[in-house]
């Protein structure tokens, strides 16, 4: 005999449907914005941004996958596309032949510098302008908790990255 399903409460349903709308509408709006600006996707930009913030503008493919919450196969496909644009290089690690390093090129850095002000303004307008400071802190706390339940070893949960309790 099968167990009866445990349905969402009304407040859980409201939260879920709200989150579902944000997960659909926000990436779509930011994707469209970046497509119009440079012909790239939000994921492409996010990958470039993570490299732009890394030491020497480079990360191993595994680190980059963690920073972008992507599978290595998806990441490899996007890296190849951005290599063709001259924005990235993929090289073998000098320390470990099994490790590939993704490195932002000068042209890639210039592309991030060119796109970043526009992208940040779009993120601010679409996400943060409707929120007050308390909402922003709550959003950060909530998203970290959800991330922790989905991927325990996500880079943003590592010591020094953020604090779940704030």
pLDDT digits (tens, 9 = 90+) for 115-131: 999 999 999 999 999 99
Rounded to two decimals, what is the model's pTM?
A: 0.84
User: Is 5 within a domain?
Assistant: no
Does some domain include residue 148?
A: yes
What pLDDT score was predicted for residue 121?
97
In sequence order, what E strands does the chain have?
58-60, 88-92, 100-104
Give the model's pLDDT for residue 160.
Answer: 57
- pLDDT of amino acid 166: 33
Examine residue 13 and state whether it is found in any structural domain, yes or no: no
What is the mean pLDDT, run by run of 10 residues, along the chain of 166 residues?
88 96 96 95 96 95 91 92 97 91 97 97 97 96 88 67 40
The predicted pLDDT at position 152 comes to: 72
61 shares its domain with 136 = no
Q: Residue 46's domain is classified under what CATH number? A: 1.10.10.10
Residue 92 lies in a domain: yes
Kindly state whether residues 41 and 74 are assigned to the same domain.
yes
* Cβ neighbours for 79, distance < 8 A, ≥ 6 positions apart: 47, 61, 64, 88, 90, 102
Collapse the DSSP code of 154 into the 3-class scheme (helix H, G, I; strand E, B; otherwise coil) and give the result: coil
């Amino acid at each position: 005999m099968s167990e009866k399903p445990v349905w969402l409460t009304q407040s859980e349903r409201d939260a879920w449907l709200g989150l579902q709308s944000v997960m659909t509408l926000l990436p779509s709006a930011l994707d469209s914005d970046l497509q119009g600006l440079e012909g790239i996707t939000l994921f492409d930009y996010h990958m470039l941004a993570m490299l732009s913030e890394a030491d020497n503008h480079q990360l191993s493919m595994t680190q980059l996958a963690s920073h972008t919450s992507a599978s290595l196969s998806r990441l490899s496909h996007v890296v190849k596309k951005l290599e063709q644009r001259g924005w990235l290089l993929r090289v073998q690690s000098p320390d470990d032949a099994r490790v590939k390093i993704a490195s932002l090129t000068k042209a890639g850095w210039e592309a991030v510098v060119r796109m970043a002000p526009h992208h940040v303004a779009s993120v601010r307008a679409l996400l943060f302008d409707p929120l007050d400071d308390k909402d922003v802190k709550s959003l950060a706390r909530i998203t970290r908790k959800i991330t922790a339940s989905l991927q325990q070893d996500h880079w943003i949960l590592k010591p020094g990255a953020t604090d779940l309790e704030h």
